[in-house]
Structure 1
């Protein structure tokens, strides 16, 4: 029983015991509450001071910054400078007269010899046949187009045996007149290579068909340059 009484007294004493950490918390809590209350009370004062400082800063900056005035734009005009050139002295060159031509004595014909002289009648120009007038070379008519003609079916030329044996290679440039249906109407040889090769190129060009050129989505007849290459295969 005695032991129980002692334990009860110890429990009651421990119940009223306060640790140092609890004491510190009790001291800090009122200080925090006081600081929050002071901050709320001083907020209007801090706000007024900050507003006055901002207004004062703008006033001081307004007076310190120099006032800028707008001036009308005046184009710069460069003054022309006069260049004084000293006249160059040109030495006078003496002209040397040409040497006199040697004069040969010519005997004057007598009046009798002049009367006896006969002048042959000049040929009558009307007797000559009029030369045939060569027709002017026809210049291909240029027609503007939006879409150029494109080959539709290309026919390769036959390589002549004579050109093969001679080892002739090169390019024949033709000028083709392609109608609205894509058919070749005329062929002109702009750059020749050899007679047999030129004929083979022309024959192949006539057999080639095109998509016609178009101007505003409408087929037109135009001239087009068309090169054909002849290359020997090893």
Structure 2
């Protein structure tokens, strides 16, 4: 017959026997760690709350008392006339006649208001440009002819709404020829310029060339 061998475990190394003690020790250690974590977290929150606090300073400002303006009272309403019962007022009143002497000279009537100057329109703004109807050639000055002087004079003329030359200005001058050019420019006749179907005043230049016949 075969012999049976029995194996006996040493109670010092048997884990099943020590399982309860190990579990209790582990549980105590875990609870201790958890308590430490909770206490440290509360301290952190307290420090964080203290850092978040902000010092609030309240300043008091003295507001001056506003002055009330006393408005004047509204004007009194006009009284409504009421018929009087006094018998002393006469029922009929007579107005004396006034006589006017038409033989005396009347005061002179005031002069009529001056006519407003018509506006001067720029040449480029015209819808119809002025056209020369009558041109006058200037007379050659005798002194300039004898001295053999030639040249050009440019006159600037203001043409009114009737086509007449109202004003003359010399733009390009020659001392011995200006007067002759100015006299000729005054006798020019134009068809007046138009702007929007109405005649207007406008400035225009006229060149005069003085040449001696050879």
Normalising by structure 2, report the TM-score: 0.42
Q: Which structure dedicates a bigger proportion of its chain to helix?
A: 1
